[in-house]
A and B are shown apart, each in its own frame.
Chain A
């Protein structure tokens, strides 16, 4: 079946450091891939998405590239800020099971000044 495996946290970085959060997936069809962010006490917000292989999603300085050959969708940011402290979720939606979303376990990021 479909699944998402996400890098374990928590992750603590200093401000302006480089961020990578790994995400790999298993899917039976043609998945769309998403990164969601959850700030403390809030619901999930879409950060970026990619709907086909080699697509790059980007938003607010974050980027992720849909790599079919490695079944990966790693999240990166070149210079993190304190305001980026949140929990990040990788997720997929599969064309074969279009009404089911599969989430990773989430990675907690804390950025210290």
Chain B
């Protein structure tokens, strides 16, 4: 199993540009999520999904869109990038939705810089 994969590893955007961060998992996990990591703030949840076709907002959803058309993929879209979205983005998955005891598994991250 490859686990959770993310592409690209690094990305530089100009303000106003759009892009999609890709995330895929091959473990047949129900639950998938996106976090951003900023210095001194830990990880904050952006959006999550409990299954194909079902998504919901986390703590910091503004400026980001998600969709989940398959169990495996959970892309994160920035429609109009802003410098405040400069961060490291992590995708994660968990075997079951609604089961708080399950462990989350993280991808390697995407480092995004918005100029």
* Residues of chain A whose beta carbon lies under 8 Å from any beta carbon of chain B: 4, 6, 29-32, 34, 36, 42-46, 49, 51, 89, 93-95, 98-101, 103-106
- B108 touching A99 by the CB < 8 A rule? no
Say which residue of A4, A45, A89, A101 sits within 8 Å of B45 (CB atoms).
A101
16 contacts between A and B (CB under 8 A): A43-B106, A43-B109, A44-B43, A45-B106, A46-B103, A51-B101, A89-B42, A93-B101, A93-B102, A95-B100, A98-B99, A98-B100, A101-B33, A101-B92, A101-B104, A105-B40
A30 to B100, CA, bound (A): 9
In terms of DSSP, what is the predominant structure of the interface of chain A?
strand
- A44 touching B90 by the CB < 8 A rule? yes
Chain B interface size, under 10 / 10 to 19 / 20 to 34 / 35 or more: 20 to 34
A89 to B37, CA, bound (A): 12
A45 to B48, CA, bound (A): 19
Say which residue of B4, B35, B44, B50 sits within 8 Å of A99 (CB atoms).
B50
A37 shortest CB reach to chain B, Å:
11
Say which residue of B45, B107, B109 sits within 8 Å of A100 (CB atoms).
B45
- A93 touching B100 by the CB < 8 A rule? yes
Determine the chain B residues whose CB is within 8 A of the CB of A6 once the complex forms. 42
Determine the chain B residues whose CB is within 8 A of the CB of A104 once the complex forms. 42
Q: Does B31 contact A (CB under 8 A)?
A: yes
**Given A42-B108, A89-B43: A99 and B103 interface contact (C-beta under 8 Å):** no
- B98 touching A43 by the CB < 8 A rule? no
Q: Does B58 contact A (CB under 8 A)?
A: yes
Determine the chain A residues whose CB is within 8 A of the CB of B31 once the complex forms. 99
- B106 touching A32 by the CB < 8 A rule? no
Q: Does B19 contact A (CB under 8 A)?
A: no
Determine the chain A residues whose CB is within 8 A of the CB of B2 once the complex forms. none
